Amino acid sequence: MLFLWLYMFYSCAGSCAGLTTRGSPAPPRAAPPLPPLLPGEPGEESSLEEQRAAPDAGSPISSFFNGSGTKRLPQAIIIGVKKGGTRALLEFLRVHPDVRAVGAEPHFFDRNYERGLAWYRDLMPRTLEGQITMEKTPSYFVTKEAPARISSMSKGTKLIVVVRDPVTRAISDYTQTLSKKPDIPTFESLTFKNRTTGLIDTSWSAIQIGIYAKHLENWLLYFPIGQILFVSGERMISDPAGELGRVQDFLGLKRIITDKHFYFNKTKGFPCLKKAEGSSKPHCLGKTKGRTHPDIDQEVVQRLRDFYRPFNMKFYQMTGQDFGWD
C-alpha cells in the first residue's frame, strides 16, 4: 500500500502542481521586483538605469551576490566636491568590509528629489547590522536645497567633503569638459568677464565651485561643523592611508584600510589599490582620471590665486584646517 501511495504522489507532483481548486482560475503571477543596483565601475559617472541588470532581489542568485541584509537610507554621504577626489575616496572606502556604497551617483538631493525617499532607499545596497550605507554625489555641496533635504531625511547624517586647491580643481574641471567638447573656448577666456579689468567670472561653474566658504555657510545652517569631515584631495595623493585613517575614525570604523592597501602609480600620478573590493588584482581608477592638464597662462593662474585667497583663508577658519593652498 505504501508503494502505491508513493507512486501516486510522484506521478502527480509534476502534473498536479499547476492545478487549483475545481472551478477557480489560477491566480496571475506577480511581476518580478525591479532588480537591485550593481556597484558602478570606477571612472566617469555611470547611469542608474544601466546598472539595473542584477538578478531579482528574492532569487537565490541575488542572495548569493547581495547576501542577506536590509536596504537602508545612507548614514554617510560624500557631498563634494567635483574633481576633488571623491571617486578615489569612495573606491578606497569600499575596501572596508563594513562599508557598502552605491557605485553610481544617485543625484537624489539635487535632480531626483521628487521621486521620494522610497525610490532613494531602493538604490542602496543591502547592509548587515554594523555596516554603513554610503553614497557620493559631489554636486550636492553646491546645491542650495541639498542641506535642508538631507537634514529632513536624517539630522544625524555624516557628511564628507573632499576639497582641493580651487585653482587646480578649476583647471581639472575644464580639462574634463574639454575632453567631451573639444571646441569650447579657452580656459583663459572663460575665467574673466573682462580680461582687461581682470574681473573674474564667478558665474562659470568651474570658478564658482571653488568658493568653498560660501557653500559651507549654507550647510552650517543645518549641520554642526563637527558632523562634516573635510578631506584633503592633495593628502589623498601624498598620504592616502593617513587620510583614510581620518575618514574611518569619523565614520566610527576600525582602521582596516592602511598603507598595505596602496601603491603609487607613477604613470597616473596617484595611488592605486593593491587589491580592489572583491578582487585579488591591483586596481587604479579609470582612464578618465589623471588626465594631462592643458598649459594655462601663468598670469591667469596667479590672478585666480589672488581671487581665491580671501575665500581660502575664511574656509581655513571655518573648518579649523589649513590646507596649504597659498
| Spatial distance between the Cα atoms of 72 and 130, rounded to a whole number of angstroms | 12
207 neighbors 191 (Cβ within 8 angstroms): yes
Tell whether 87 is in a known binding site.
Answer: yes
Q: Which three cell numbers stand for residue 302?
A: 596667479
Tell whether 289 is in a known binding site.
Answer: yes
Tell whether 191 is in a known binding site.
Answer: no
Annotated active-site residue 82? The verdict is: no
Tell whether 85 is in a known binding site.
Answer: yes
Max intra-chain CA distance, the chain: 104
Tell whether 290 is in a known binding site.
Answer: yes
90 neighbors 72 (Cβ within 8 angstroms): no
Tell whether 84 is in a known binding site.
Answer: yes
| Spatial distance between the Cα atoms of 217 and 237, rounded to a whole number of angstroms | 27
Tell whether 291 is in a known binding site.
Answer: yes
Determine phi and psi for 199, rounding to 5 degrees: -75, 120
CA nearest neighbour of 72 among 112, 132, 113, 114: 132
Tell whether 69 is in a known binding site.
Answer: no
CA nearest neighbour of 270 among 290, 287, 246, 251: 290
Tell whether 269 is in a known binding site.
Answer: no
Q: Which three cell numbers stand for residue 51?
A: 546598472
Q: Give the residue carrying C-alpha cell 551617483.
A: 105
Q: Around Cβ 195, how many Cβ atoms within 10 Å?
A: 15
Beta bridge partners of residue 194, listed in sequence order: 199
CA nearest neighbour of 104 among 86, 117, 118: 86
Q: Which three cell numbers stand for residue 64?
A: 548569493
Q: Which three cell numbers stand for residue 29?
A: 503571477
The one catalytic residue among 71, 82, 83, 136: 83
Sign of CA dihedral 230, 139, 118, 31: negative
Burial of 36 (0-12, 13-18, 19+ CB in 10 A): buried
Tell whether 52 is in a known binding site.
Answer: no
Point out the residues that are catalytic. Answer: 83
Per the annotation, where are the binding residues? 83-87, 164, 172, 289-293
Per the annotation, where are the binding residues for 3'-phosphoadenylyl sulfate? 83-87, 164, 172, 289-293
